[in-house]
Structure 1
Amino acid sequence: MSGALGRGSVATRLPAQDLERARRFYSEKLGLEPFDERPGGLLYRCGDSFFAVFQSTGVSPGTFTQMGWEVEDLDAVVDELRARGVRFETVDAPGFRTDEHGFALVEGNYPSKHSRGERAVWFRDSEGNLIGIGQPVH
């Protein structure tokens, strides 16, 4: 690690036009509760990482993955989220496309570490943010 940023940590921030709607989505659909909250923002903790959802007047373009999880058992996570009402997106991009079950094999993709790629799915939160979930392929 060199440079000041190499010694820092990364935090994802997702915009929300309606913070209460976003709070309900993250609670009801994803089973997450805020770790901390302040006026205009919610902070969530997942493992050793954090992400924030903040009140914004801007609209997410939803044209690219804005945040992603890396999980050990993608099938189990998808089953749980589908049971909670999460709808997964069809994402077709150069080099991959989602299959009839909503999964894509993304060869050589980061952020999966120490793997040759990942199996992945995508969904949108209540605010239109495109969120991915991946499982490393070894």
Structure 2
Amino acid sequence: MSSNTTDDGTPLTRARAATRLPAQDLERARRFYAERLGLHPVDERPGGLLYRCGGAEFALFRSTGAATGAFTQMAFEVDDIEATVSELRRRGVEFEEVDVPGLRTVDGIAEVDGNYPSKGARGERGAWFRDSEGNLLGVGEPIV
């Protein structure tokens, strides 16, 4: 895949991607995101909460379905993964330990070779945790 994007005139080439995460209990989710992650909604409606961080946004929406948590649903890119994981642990976030072929965490952090080829990095260091609603969230730092 090329590092250059081409606007071929289709609507999605100019669109902004927006993450939406399901929440069975919005108040429980609000508390988790505030107390554990230090994030507060910038807008809210009866059916959802909108968050902004680092120039991006994501929303939690009321859902009767439950997240499977079988894959990363959203990730935060950080400059210092050790400091971020340490601070989030201090706030009560529990990180997943993973040991599968090709991916193994050590103290909650894994090195993933080959990620972010379009960002000029040779890989990523990553860590994963679940929010109060079962969504699997990641924290990643590109390896340059």
Q: Scaled by the length of structure 1, what TM-score is found? A: 0.94
How many residues end up aligned between the 2 structures?
137
Q: Which of 116, 120, 130 is residue 124 of structure 1 equivalent to?
A: 130
1:35 aligns with 2:6: no
Q: Distance in 2 between matches of 1:90 and 1:106?
A: 14
Cα RMSD of the aligned pairs, angstroms, is 1.4
Q: Scaled by the length of structure 2, what TM-score is found? A: 0.91
Give, in angstroms, the shift of residue 111 of structure 1: 8.2
User: Is there any run of 5+ residues in structure 2 with no aligned partner, and where?
Assistant: 1-6
Q: Alpha carbons of 1:77 and 1:32: their partners in 2 closer, same or farther (altered >3 Å)?
A: same
* Aligned residue in 2 for 1:68: 75
Runs ≥4 in structure 1, deviation > 3 angstroms? none
Q: Is the 8 A contact 1:108 1:116 kept in 2?
A: yes
> Could you give the per-residue CA deviations for residues 108-136 of structure 1, whole angstroms, max 9, x where no partner exists?
11488220110000000000000000000
User: Is there any run of 5+ residues in structure 1 with no aligned partner, and where?
Assistant: none
Q: Which of 100, 108, 115 is residue 102 of structure 1 equivalent to?
A: 108
Q: Alpha carbons of 1:111 and 1:128: their partners in 2 closer, same or farther (altered >3 Å)?
A: farther
* Aligned residue in 1 for 2:3: none
Q: Is the 8 A contact 1:14 1:66 kept in 2?
A: yes
Q: Alpha carbons of 1:88 and 1:111: their partners in 2 closer, same or farther (altered >3 Å)?
A: farther
